[in-house]
Chain A
């Protein structure tokens, strides 16, 4: 392995990491701004112009708060919980293609950390691992409310992973590939976006993404009206901060994933008809990709301040009796259409 390659990947990883953190930081501000907008008030506007320094103040405050580990808590696992949550949130972005390739001198730099040929499944595995953070934290707190939150988180994430996986299978039947780079590359232009061939699959995936990120209306693990604060009741200081942070990073990664899988990723209409050089197409592509991601993050927030929370039995019914059968029907439908297309056209 040559040195330049290592440096290139290291820089890329650092940039992706920093961007994830910054986006997550400003999502907390954006969340409150959107809430303010929806409820006809200002939202935070004291720290800096338009409250732009608010996330920094919050971060600083998290660090300076007293750190409390309850006497009855299981100390190693109590610390391990938020650690796993933030690590799994951060490593998901490794396989997302942020753009095409940049040519600097005679080096071609792919704007993707790594392109493994099971990229979609990798993200799935990381998501599956994420629930350990919540479960361990909730159990180690030695608090009945946190345990309830942890158990809810586990059953919710397992239930919705199934429907999510099934909706992805239909997509993979269309794309014929598990590599995210290839899936995005297939969707060049505008008419090739997967959303046009998999609208139902996208809808199921979207609902499941909400559930996997523990966002309203699926935030039963931290349902404060029933469980005080759910799995993170006993957490204080930056440990609580890490849990919240990992939620926002998860939101960022799943927005990126949805844009990449269904909305063409870095592709934009007429991208090859403008007569631009490859580097410019790549740069505009990255910007377009981030616009799509921010649109999804806004959508996440919009839903949060619009819909009330589900009841737990409603959540389970929706997952098992609505989404899974719908996803299976979608697979069958996709198969039939593919065969008809192959035979007659």
Chain B
């Protein structure tokens, strides 16, 4: 349990660092570390497959792309666009909404009994695969169609328009 609290502290700490740091590249790096702490959380939950996939997909691919874009943008203080007051106002309203939601959910919070899993090995690859292809086949297939759609859309966007003579 103490490991959990330590890792949870690290997650929140680095998540806050992601927001508060000025340099965008630092921000992305802190986000990478935050994802890494999530991977540790999954391992603590005995969900090895999810841990490794989180590691590969989020840390290894998506964050690399983020970093890629930020490096090319070359953001620094001189080129940073000025934020208008309207944007700031919107930020305040959105933040207040979030605070309200979190506060409301905290009010009705009840600490539940710790759940003992019937099958602690459920997160291992073999079990996960069997569950995905039997109990959750329909959601699994639907989400795969969603991903396929996204891929086709991306290819379509990236494809050059034929030049009109």
Spell out A's residues near B (CB within 8 Å). 77, 116-118, 121-122, 124-125, 127-129, 131-132, 135-136, 139, 147, 150-151, 154-155, 157-158, 161, 178
Contact = CB atoms under 8 A, between A and B. Distances in A.
Interface residues of B, number: 20
Interface in B42-92: 48-49, 52-53, 55-56, 59-61, 64-65, 67-68, 71-72
A281 B161 CA distance: 62
Contacts of B125: 117-118, 178
Contacts of A131: 60, 64
A124 B56 contact: yes
User: Among B32, B48, B59, B64, which residue has the most Cβ atoms of chain A within 10 A?
Assistant: B64
A158 B71 contact: no
Q: Which 3 A-B pairs have the closest CB atoms?
A: A128-B60, A121-B52, A125-B55
A337 B158 CA distance: 35
Interface of B: 25, 29, 32, 48-49, 52-53, 55-56, 59-61, 64-65, 67-68, 71-72, 124-125
Contact residues of B: prevailing secondary structure: helix
A313 to B, nearest CB: 13
20 contacts: A118-B49, A122-B52, A124-B56, A125-B55, A128-B56, A128-B59, A128-B60, A128-B64, A129-B59, A131-B60, A132-B67, A135-B68, A139-B25, A147-B71, A154-B67, A157-B64, A158-B61, A158-B64, A161-B60, A178-B125
A165 B64 CA distance: 17
Contacts of A147: 71
Contact of A121 (B56, B64, B67, B71): B56
A95 B125 CA distance: 17
A77 to B, nearest CB: 8
Given A124-B56, A151-B71, A161 B48 contact: no
Contacts of B48: 116-118
Contact of B52 (A77, A125, A127, A154): A125
Contact of A158 (B52, B65, B72): B65
A54 B81 CA distance: 54
A147 B69 CA distance: 12
Contacts of A178: 125
A121 B59 CA distance: 13
Contacts of A157: 64
Contacts of B49: 118, 121
A151 B68 CA distance: 6
A154 B66 CA distance: 11
A178 B48 CA distance: 12
B130 to A, nearest CB: 12
Given A124-B52, A125-B52, A178-B125, 7 more contacts: A77-B25, A122-B52, A135-B64, A135-B68, A151-B68, A161-B60, A161-B61
B60 to A, nearest CB: 2
A124 B32 CA distance: 17
A234 B138 CA distance: 53
Given A117-B48, A122-B52, A139-B25, A129 B60 contact: yes
A132 B64 contact: yes
Contacts of A154: 64-65, 67-68
A161 B55 CA distance: 14
A238 B58 CA distance: 31
B90 to A, nearest CB: 32
B61 A135 contact: no
A165 to B, nearest CB: 8
A222 B29 CA distance: 24
A139 to B, nearest CB: 5
A178 to B, nearest CB: 6
Contacts of A129: 55, 59-60
A128 B25 CA distance: 18
Given A117-B48, A117-B125, A139 B65 contact: no
Contact of B72 (A121, A132, A151): A151
A151 B55 CA distance: 21
